[in-house]
Amino acid sequence: MKKTTMRLADGRELVHYDSRDDVVRDAVDPRPLEPTATASEIRYDALLDEWIAVASHRQGRTYHPPADECPLCPSRDGRHSEIPADDYDVVVFENRFPSLTGGPGPLTAEDGHGLLAHRPGAGRCEVVCFTSDHDASFADLTPEQARLVLEAWTDRTAELSQLPGVEQVFCFENRGREIGVTLSHPHGQIYGYPFVTPRTERMLRALDRHRERIAGGNLFDDVLAAERAAGSRIVIEADHWTAFVPHAAHWPYEVHLYPNHRVPDLLALDDAARAEFPVVYLELLRRFDRIFGKDEPPTPYIAAWHQAPVSHPSRRDFALHLELFTIRRTSGKLKFLAGSESGMNVFINDVPPEAAAARLREIATPGYERKARHQ
């Protein structure tokens, strides 16, 4: 992998990740852009003991542009996009409309007890373009291209983890208008949060309780072992990765992908796990697109990497894993978060996890197991 860093016209960082070492990236962004102006802050929710971000400048972000005006396509034929190159492999750049940006700032409160606390929305938001092909999806990538994306995620995790104030790095992809995607070009995002996210905090608390209840036990290891032993919800069982529908899945079709040997983050994956990941992950994505039949539009999904916080005391006990789920519950119908889910955070799943796993096994790519053994 070759990494080349440059600056866009407004000062934002852009990084090329190329599979070939002889590629030269020396183009200059010719656009007359003013420096980005953001007004992000984070506010403390005392009742839930968590932080939320307020970023009003994002109201003006680019929304469903036509294909010939896509800001994530290469710059060609006199049209200048966010990427000043006529082609690329993988590109990462600072979001022009970030939810979080800049370095840490002082904590202030409107009351004497810290109940109305707030501070600048420090952090980092990046866009990851998986391919220059506007009409592709992640599932269309070759294993070599998917491996390059993995290397980019890993490098960005390393870089963002070193930024002042960043406590957690989150790599993710939203796919489909139903999810709320505003740009159809295949891409994902990376957030560097100035706090440990509420979802991760809950997992860390569960991890601690499990350790106390079962001396020496690791919650992630034990859940993975239990799912592998049960077998009924396993989707893919490879040499270095296991994909399964969790016992208490929240979403109609939800798969968790774990390395078989626990590591805290992407940086800690060994070469064997890195080599096998593209084969397993691409197979999962292709099965997702077949869940509802060949005549259905592409399945909307969210793919989210859960990584250990940068400096949490239980960091070494956390398990890197990827969560992949769709909000489509059946052909032509979506799973909406209504009263129970949105109001009380109690999910009601319409699809039994065992049935979802059986469906995902049923639609395996012909010859997948044989191909996987020969990778």
Question: Do the beta carbons of residue 327 and residue 179 sit within 8 Å?
Answer: yes
203 and 184 belong to one structural domain? no
Q: What angle do CA 165, 171, 172 make, to 5 degrees?
A: 135
266-276 confidence digits (pLDDT tens): 999 999 999 99
User: 143, 164, 194: which is the final residue of a domain?
Assistant: 194
Which helix (H) or strand (E) covers residue 54, if one does? strand 50-54
Residues with active-site annotation:
187
User: 136, 168, 194: which is the final residue of a domain?
Assistant: 194
205 and 247 belong to one structural domain? yes
Domain encompassing residue 88: 2-194
What's the half-sphere exposure (Cβ side, CA atoms, 13 Å) at 30?
7
Report the distance separating Cα 260 and Cα 244, nearest Å. 12
Question: Do the beta carbons of residue 223 and residue 245 sit within 8 Å?
Answer: no
Report the distance separating Cα 129 and Cα 140, nearest Å. 14
259 and 363 belong to one structural domain? yes
Domain count, the chain: 2
30-68 confidence digits (pLDDT tens): 999 988 777 789 999 999 999 999 987 666 566 678 878
Per-residue confidence band for 372, with pLDDT thresholds at 50, 70 and 90? low
Beta bridge partners of 333: 330
Report the distance separating Cα 295 and Cα 304, nearest Å. 27
User: 142, 162, 194: which is the final residue of a domain?
Assistant: 194
178 and 281 belong to one structural domain? no
127 and 237 belong to one structural domain? no
175-228 confidence digits (pLDDT tens): 999 999 989 999 999 999 999 999 999 999 999 999 999 998 999 999 999 999
Report the distance separating Cα 286 and Cα 301, nearest Å. 12
What φ, ψ does residue 220 adopt, rounded to 5°? Answer: -65, -45
Q: What is the CATH number of the domain that holds 366?
A: 3.30.428.10
**pTM, entire model:** 0.95
110 and 251 belong to one structural domain? no
Average pLDDT over residues 263-267: 98
